[in-house]
Structure 1
C-alpha cells in the first residue's frame, strides 16, 4: 500500500530565515514558491537531488509547538550524508553549531544533530558509499 514518504511539512516562524537556512545552508532546491493571499502564507516546495521532500509554510499567528527531541510527536528530521565531517564544516561556515559526533551503537555509523531557525532538531547520518 505505502510506497514512500511524499513530503514533510514544516511551519516556520520567520519565513526568510528558514528559506535561507533550507536553501542556502542545507542546499535544498526550490521547486515552487507561492504566496497564498487568502491565508497570508508562503508555501515553499523544496527538493533534494531532484526529489520533492519538504513543504515550508509561513502562517501568521501560528501556535507554538514543543520541539525538544524527547517531546511527544515528530522527534527530528534526518538527512543522509556521505561525509559527516565535510557536512559539519559547511554548517560551521554558515554559523550553525552541531552537537559532537556520536556513533550509532547498532550500525557503527556516525551522526550528529543541529537545529533549524525554529529549533527543529535535524540529524545528519553518515552513510559511506561502497566502491
Structure 2
C-alpha cells in the first residue's frame, strides 16, 4: 500500500519540481542559484523546495555557513529516474504506434482480422 501511495505522490510532481530535481542531480545548489537558473522568483523556488524537502526528495544542507544548500536524496534520484524512464517508454510507444499505423496501411484484410483476434485474446 505504501508503495502505491508513493508512486501516486511522485506522479504529482510538477514540471517545475522536476526541473529542480534535474538541476540538483548535477550538484548541490542554493535557493539563489536555483532561482537564477530557472528564471523564477526566490519565493516560488522556496515553495517548491519546501514541498520537495517534505517529500524527502531533497534535503537542506546547513553546515553553519551563510548559505543553505539543497541536495538530491536517493529517493529524489529514484523519482527522477522513474520520470526519465516514463518519458523514454512514452517515446518508444509513440514510435511503435506510428510504425504500426504505417504497416497497417499495407496489411491485407485476412491479416488484419488475425491481428484483431490476437488483440482480443491478449486483452
Which one has the bigger helix percentage?
2
> Whose radius of gyration is greater, 1 or 2?
2
Work out whether the TM-score is over 0.5. Answer: no
TM-score (norm 2): 0.24
* More strand by percentage: 1
